[in-house]
């Protein structure tokens, strides 16, 4: 499935083996239905851009489906994890830059434990890790810094210190794949915290400046193709940059 080339407007049947399907970038729901053998009709989706049809199975028989393209501009999609920079404050919340065509809205109550009397006081320039809660074509996207299922932060919120770098959208999506070897290989050599946004931004925090430089150069090297995302190659690159 990951090697299938699709064009804008192509029909994409939903996987029948999965209990729930999450539509990612490049795929939109369609009102049409197709005839499936012994199953009557099943709903379909359509591709909105040129690229490779990709999928990733998650927990409890869920599956995410998206179109892997070469787009450089991030288009917000619901449930995406993103890194944003606060560019303005207002009475009800904040306006956040995600690197997309439109700024995102972040309510002051969209944080763990936030109330009308107790809201986070974030300054302009603050980096936040958030989740896209609303993404419609003709509206500004909305983001939130907590998990609505648990009411807890679950890693979302303000990111203090560390370093943020800009990567390709494809690399960021690969970094969130548990089978992609880059982050485990880096963690074997350098201890660090990391937050990956599907909008082409990566934040990480290490104990020393030299380790930060090494991690930054390795991630940029893998993104440019100069370094292979294999354990031996990554470990050798880290040793070279730390020497």
Return d(Cα 24, Cα 67) in angstroms, integer: 7
User: Which pair of tokens denotes residue 13?
Assistant: 């049947």
b/e per residue 185-224 (b: at least 16 CB within 10 A)? bbeebbebebbbbbbbbbbbbbeeeebbebbbbbbbbbbe
With 0-12 / 13-18 / 19 or more C-beta atoms within 10 angstroms meaning exposed / middle / buried, residue 35 is exposed
Q: What is the pLDDT of residues 81-125, one digit of tens each?
A: 999 999 999 988 999 999 998 999 999 999 998 888 888 889 999
Please name the helix (run of DSSP H) or strand (run of DSSP E) that holds residue 242, with its range, or none: helix 231-242
Q: What is the pLDDT of residues 200-239, one digit of tens each?
A: 999 999 999 999 999 999 999 999 999 999 999 999 999 9
What structural domains does the chain harbor? 4-68 (2.40.50.880), 81-159 (2.40.50.140), 163-242 (3.30.1370.10)
Please name the helix (run of DSSP H) or strand (run of DSSP E) that holds residue 111, with its range, or none: strand 104-111
Three-class secondary structure of residue 183 per DSSP: helix
The answer to whether the beta carbons of residues 61 and 52 sit under 8 Å apart is no
Q: pLDDT confidence of 6, banded at 50, 70, 90?
A: confident
Q: What is the pLDDT of residues 37-83, one digit of tens each?
A: 444 455 678 888 888 888 777 666 677 787 877 667 888 988 899 99
Which residue in the block uniquely carries the two structure tokens 């009411």?
151
Three-class secondary structure of residue 145 per DSSP: strand
What does pTM read for this prediction?
A: 0.79
């Amino acid at each position: 499935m990951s090697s299938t080339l699709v064009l804008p407007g192509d029909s994409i049947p939903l996987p029948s083996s999965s209990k729930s399907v999450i539509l990612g970038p490049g795929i939109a729901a369609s009102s049409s239905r197709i005839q499936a053998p012994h199953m009557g009709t099943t709903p379909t989706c359509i591709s909105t851009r040129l690229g490779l049809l990709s999928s990733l199975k998650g927990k409890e028989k869920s599956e995410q489906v998206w179109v892997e393209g070469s787009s450089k501009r991030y288009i917000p999609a619901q449930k995406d994890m993103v890194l944003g920079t606060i560019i303005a404050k207002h009475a009800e919340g904040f306006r956040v830059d995600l690197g997309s065509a439109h700024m995102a809205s972040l309510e002051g109550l969209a944080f763990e434990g936030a109330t009308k009397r107790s809201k986070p006081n974030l300054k302009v320039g603050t980096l936040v890790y958030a989740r896209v809660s609303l993404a419609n074509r003709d509206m500004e996207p909305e983001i939130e810094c907590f998990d609505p299922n648990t009411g807890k932060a679950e890693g979302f919120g303000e990111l203090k210190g560390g370093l943020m770098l800009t990567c390709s959208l494809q690399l960021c999506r690969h970094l969130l794949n548990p089978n992609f070897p880059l982050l485990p290989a880096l963690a074997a050599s350098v201890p660090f915290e990391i937050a990956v946004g599907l909008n082409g931004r990566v934040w990480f925090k290490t104990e020393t400046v030299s380790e930060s430089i090494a991690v930054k150069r390795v991630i940029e090297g893998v993104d440019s193709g100069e370094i292979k995302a294999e354990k031996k190659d990554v470990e050798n690159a880290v040793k070279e940059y730390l020497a």
